[in-house]
Amino acid sequence: MRLPCPYCGSRDLSEFTYLGDAKLKRPNPDGENAAAEFFDYAYLRDNPAGPHKEFWYHAQGCRSWLTVERDTRTHEILSAVLSSGAKA
Amino acid sequence: MRYSLFSLARNALTGHRDWQPAWRDAEPKASYDIVVIGGGHGLATAYYLAEKYGLSNIAVLEKGYIGSGNIGRNTTIVRSNYLLPGNIPFYELSMKLWEGLEQDLNYNVMVSQRGVLNVFHSDAQRDAYARRGNAMRLHGVDAELLDREGVKKLYPFLNFDNARFPIQGGLLQPRGGTVRHDAVAWGYARAASDRGVDICQNCEVTGFRIENGQAVGVETNKGFIGAKKVAVSVAGNSSRVMGMAGLRLPIEAHVIQAMVTEGLKPIIPGVITFGAGHFYISQSDKGGLVFGGDLDGYNSYAQRGNLPVIEDVCEGGMALMPSIGRARVLRHWGGLLDMSMDGSPIIDKTPVGGIFLNCGWNYGGFKATPASGLCFAHLVATGEPHPVATAFRLDRFATGNLIDEKGQGAQPNLH
């Protein structure tokens, strides 16, 4: 699998580190249901079979965080943008 | 028909043309008391429901054919060398069931207790393995801590002088070993079928029918099947299936790859794992070296992996035993895992009435098959968790009772 880094171009998978689901939103720790929301945030996952938005870190390249949309059934990359400024 | 020396002799005389299919290929009926989804652990579950709990009117639904899923995509290793109190009794029960499985099923599943050795390379690792061995012995499980000479006597061909990871010793579980994975599926299918269980192949569940918070059946590609109880054991696809019942799980689907070489003469008597990287190897009875290592590390339903992990696994193999460097890899494949957030399984009721869940099998899936089936059958039949599976709660993440065997916390891509 290769990932299209917006800075560096198409690069080998081994240059990247995976973080996981990019759609998770850190809850407000002062919120009313903070405990339940943090359980949800830390542990529960949608885990779709199909397009999945996820974080990849280009550690061996430009050291940017990328938000990549990838089909988990085929490893096809649908889009890759810089995470800074990107809307998750 | 029971397999015996007599039946073998009789069929030999007729040229082996009269063997019957091992199990009935059933079409689903309109309704059952219990519908089990998944033809892996599900077959074991159905067998124990019939055998131990005296239930009948059960169907096992498998979306492919028996043996096409994860039961045929593992590396056939069985062991019970665990550390935590929530795990050891469960995996030891599984080990004991393996030891008697051929007699129980009247089927040769090729249980081979050739020993599982975990190699260590540093003082810290020795301490960790000594602790693990002590924990095992306190639970009545066999464990031996070998020093460098002990390992050398057992496996003289290992690379003891590796500059970076010199082998200092190993933790041996002599009762661990391998079991032929396909035979396990066929044996359980045959034994369950003989006890009246309908095994429906190519029958994919497409939804649940839930009325007033109570499951009344499942929708499938072969139509609606009514059920008083639905037992879900579809590891790899648990998120997708339980999503149809409106549940989100503490699970990510990951792929783990395994490889097998061309057939060689016997060179590796037991199972060896490399403690410095992540690599484990055994030799199949056909002669192929079967080995694997880490997961690919990102969500995947592809049932195939990527080359960087293969390279990493092979490097681990070369560091441990350079003698295998000329062996050619014939095949490699990927199996799907339910990577749960603490690396341990879940066997529990769900918030939906009548739906029971058996999932979260990652590195422990194959070796757990008998105990998983027995404990899940106990839960489905009685409504209460089996005594050795009480820790495998669905809500343990919310209550803080994680079973974090690897000590890596909520990082499914690291386990």
Specify the pLDDT at position B334.
Answer: 93
- How many other C-beta atoms lie within 10 A of the C-beta of residue B124? 9
Residue in chain B closest to A21 (alpha carbons) equals B299
CA nearest B295: which of B181, B412, B178? Answer: B412
Domain spanning B113-177+252-340, CATH architecture: 2-Layer Sandwich (3.30)
Angle between helices B181-194 and B88-105 (to 10 degrees): 70
CA distance B298 to chain A (A): 6
Those of residues 350-389 in B touching chain A at CB distance below 8 A are: none
Backbone angles phi, psi at B123, to 5 degrees: -60, -40
Is 90 exceeded by the pLDDT of residue B112?
yes
Look up the CATH number of the domain holding residue A45: 3.30.2270.10
Q: Looking at beta carbons, which residues of chain A come within 8 Å of B306?
A: 1, 13, 75
Q: By residue range, what is the domain housing residue A40?
A: 2-82
Encode pLDDT of B245-274 as tens digits: 999 999 999 999 999 999 999 999 999 999
Task: Note the maximum CA span of chain A.
Answer: 45
For residue A57, being part of any structural domain is answered with yes
Residues from chain A contacting residue B253 (CB–CB below 8 Å): 47, 49, 72
Is A1 in contact with B341 (Cβ distance < 8 A)? no
**Mean pLDDT of all residues belonging to chain A:** 93
- Asked if B408 has any chain A CB less than 8 Å from its own CB, the reply is no
Do B322 and B306 form a contact (C-beta atoms < 8 A)? Answer: no
Per-residue pLDDT band for B405 (boundaries 50, 70, 90) equals confident
> Is the residue at A87 inside a domain?
no
On the question of pLDDT at B380 being above 70, the answer is yes
B355 has pLDDT over 50 = yes
**Residue B168 pLDDT more than 50?**
yes
Coil, strand, or helix at residue B2? coil
Q: Using CA of residue B142, residue B148, residue B149, residue B154, what is the dihedral sign?
A: positive
Cα–Cα nearest to B148, from B120, B168, B122, B124: B168
Q: Assess contact for B84 and B403: CB atoms under 8 A.
A: yes
What pLDDT does residue B410 have? 72
Inspect the interface and report whether the beta carbons of B306 and A74 lie closer than 8 Å: no
Please name the residues in contact with A30: beta carbons below 8 A apart, sequence gap of 6 or more.
none
Output the pLDDT for position A87. 53
Q: Compute the distance between CA of residue B252 and CA of residue B296 in angstroms, rounded to an integer.
A: 12
**Whether the Cβ atoms of residue B86 and residue B344 lie closer than 8 Å to each other:** yes
Confirm whether A88 is domain-assigned.
Answer: no
Q: Does B413 lie at the interface with A, CB-CB under 8 angstroms? A: yes
Long-range contacts of B3-6 (CB under 8 A, 24+ apart): B3/B106, B3/B107, B3/B108
- Residue-level pLDDT at B363: 82
User: What mean pLDDT comes out for the span B68-74?
Assistant: 91
What is the Cα A55 distance to its own chain's centre?
2
Q: Which residues of A touch B301 (CB under 8 A)?
A: 49, 72-73
**Is there a contact between B168 and B120 (Cβ–Cβ < 8 Å)?**
yes
Is the model's pLDDT at B277 over the cut of 50? Answer: yes
Please provide the average confidence, as pLDDT, over all residues in chain B: 95
pLDDT at res. B275: 85
- For B102-112, b/e burial (b = at least 16 CB within 10 A) is bebbebebbbb
Domain covering B5-77+181-250+342-414 in this structure, CATH number: 3.50.50.60
Size of interface A-B (CB pairs under 8 A): 63
In chain A, residues with a C-beta closer than 8 Å to the C-beta of B412 are 20
CB spacing of B239 vs A13 below 8 angstroms? no
Which residues 250-279 on chain B approach chain A with CB closer than 8 angstroms?
250-253
Tell me the residue length of chain B: 415
Q: Determine the pLDDT at residue A88.
A: 47
Residue span(s) of chain B under CATH 3.30.9.10 come to 113-177+252-340
DSSP string computed for B123-152: HHHHHHHHHHHHHHHHTT---EEEEHHHHH
Question: Once rounded to an integer, what is the mean pLDDT over residues A1-14?
Answer: 95
Beta bridge partners of A61: none
**Nearest C-alpha in A relative to B252:** A47
From-to residues of CATH 3.50.50.60 in chain B: 5-77+181-250+342-414
Average pLDDT over residues B368-376: 98
HEC string of A64-82? CEEEEEEECCCCCEEEEEE
pTM: 0.95
- What local confidence, expressed as pLDDT, does residue A86 receive? 57
How many domains are contained in chain A? 1
